[in-house]
Amino acid sequence: MTISFKTKVRKQLVEAAKSYSKLLNVKITASSNLFVVSDKYILRFYKTNFLHLTGVKTNLSAEEFFNRCFNESIMEENFDCDSSKEIKGFVRQKLKHLVNFHSIFEQKLLFQEKFEKGKVSCTIATTNGECTIGFIDAKYCVRPKTILDKNHLDKSKNIVEIIPLLERIF
């Protein structure tokens, strides 16, 4: 029996939400005197950023979508992800990394300020070589905007290697 693409995506959304949730009460600090714009960036993760990272479409609010994925009550009719081959590929690439999202920050990473890729413009981006995560400004921190497959940092710009500092916040 063949499992549908949407069924596989639902399963991955649940796994991804559980992984992403491990970063909700964590502050990650990336600091270096090699940065040009700021010497330190605080990375924070919010429930409302999860939906955008998945690449799926839904009529649910971003927070409700995350909550349903996390508590495993998300239904296939709650989201759309298979309207074209391009969308399927896009979602597949994002979820491949989101299912183990929290572990990305438990290692040495490459960071780049003023990251740009196509129409995407971010304050800072980081990569572990397998995926690139772009962050945008929020008042006192940066929050995730995009996740791309593979390393997309611009080799012609300053790249800084850092072991990020993870701190639990309550």
- Across 97-154, where does the E strand assignment appear? 109-117, 120-127, 131-138, 141-149
CB neighbours of residue 53 within 10 Å: 20
59 DSSP assignment: S
Q: Give the pLDDT of residue 85.
A: 86
Ordered per-residue pLDDT tens for the chain, 170 residues: 788 999 999 999 999 999 999 999 999 999 999 999 999 999 999 999 999 999 999 999 999 999 999 999 999 999 999 778 888 999 999 999 999 999 999 999 999 999 999 999 999 999 999 999 999 998 899 999 999 999 999 999 999 999 999 999 87
End-to-end CA distance of the chain: 45
At 153, which amino acid appears? L
What gap in Å lies between CA 40 and CA 34, rounded to an integer? Answer: 10
Q: Give the pLDDT of residue 116.
A: 96
Q: Give the pLDDT of residue 82.
A: 78
Side-chain-side CA neighbours of residue 150 (13 Å): 4
Q: Distance from CA of residue 113 to its chain's centroid?
A: 17
Alpha helices, H only, the chain:
5-21, 47-54, 62-70, 85-98
Q: Give the pLDDT of residue 86.
A: 84
The residues facing 124 across adjacent strands are: 113, 135
For the entire predicted model, the pTM comes to 0.94
